[in-house]
């Protein structure tokens, strides 16, 4: 991960590594009832990512499949992809925040260059940015979002995926016709 997640406007002041801050009125720790039904336990251990005991889910982005770890709790989101030196090509991490808020991620303790996508509730990509290893300057979603996806740097560009592309998967609300 970008080593940290902070909701904009939290007023929490400086945040230390491994800490997640959210606006006090949004830190409910609850997820929609249907989410638990679609998340499945990790099937295999990756040699490049230590056992995280996180559920994994298959997503499709612009026709390209990707399997992602799903970080749902404050602790899981705070750890994210910190300390990882590599990540399999078609894997990533989806951060599922408790509430929609302006999200900001940084790369403290993250030696892996990543690309980040900030997503609408229906999985539509609002913004994509590249994150450099160990960069302490945060990347902000700019708009309230609940979902954030991190993948290897360049993954989106190599596949021609841009803002406006909709990610398909069981965690995203279907768009109204």
Q: Which helix (H) or strand (E) holds 147?
A: strand 139-152
Determine how β-strand 91-106 pairs with β-strand 64-71: parallel
What does the pLDDT read at residue 174? 66
Q: Is the distance from CB of 126 to CB of 143 less than 8 angstroms?
A: yes
How does pLDDT run across 144-173, given as a tens digit for each residue? Answer: 999 999 999 999 999 999 999 999 999 887
Could you give the CA distance from residue 38 to residue 76 in angstroms, rounded to a whole number?
Answer: 18
Q: 101: pLDDT confidence band, cut at 50, 70 and 90? A: very high
pTM of the model: 0.72
Which residues pair with residue 59 across a beta bridge? Answer: 66
- Using CA atoms, how far residue 36 sits from 39, 70, 125, 127, 170, in Å, is 5, 11, 23, 27, 10
pLDDT greater than 80 at residue 102: yes
- Give the bridge partners for 15, in sequence order: none
- pLDDT, one tens digit per residue, over 61-81 is 999 999 999 999 999 999 899
The neighbour count for residue 146, using CB atoms within 10 Å, is 19
Q: In CATH, what class is 52-168? A: mainly beta
């Amino acid at each position: 991960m970008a080593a940290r997640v902070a909701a904009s406007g939290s007023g929490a002041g400086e945040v230390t590594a491994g800490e997640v801050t959210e606006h006090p009125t949004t830190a409910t720790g609850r997820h929609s009832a249907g989410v638990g039904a679609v998340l499945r336990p990790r099937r295999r251990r990756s040699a490049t990512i230590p056992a995280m005991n996180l559920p994994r889910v298959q997503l499709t982005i612009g026709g390209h499949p990707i399997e992602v770890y799903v970080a749902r709790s404050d602790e899981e989101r705070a750890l994210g992809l910190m300390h990882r030196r590599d990540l399999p090509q078609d894997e990533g991490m989806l951060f599922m925040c408790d509430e929609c808020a302006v999200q900001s991620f940084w790369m403290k303790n993250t030696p892996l260059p990543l690309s980040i996508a900030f997503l609408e509730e229906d999985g539509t990509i609002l913004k994509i940015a590249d994150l450099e290893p160990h960069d302490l300057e945060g990347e902000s979603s700019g708009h309230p979002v609940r979902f954030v996806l991190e993948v290897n740097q360049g993954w989106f560009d190599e596949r021609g995926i841009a803002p406006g592309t909709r990610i398909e998967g069981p965690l995203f609300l279907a768009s109204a016709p």
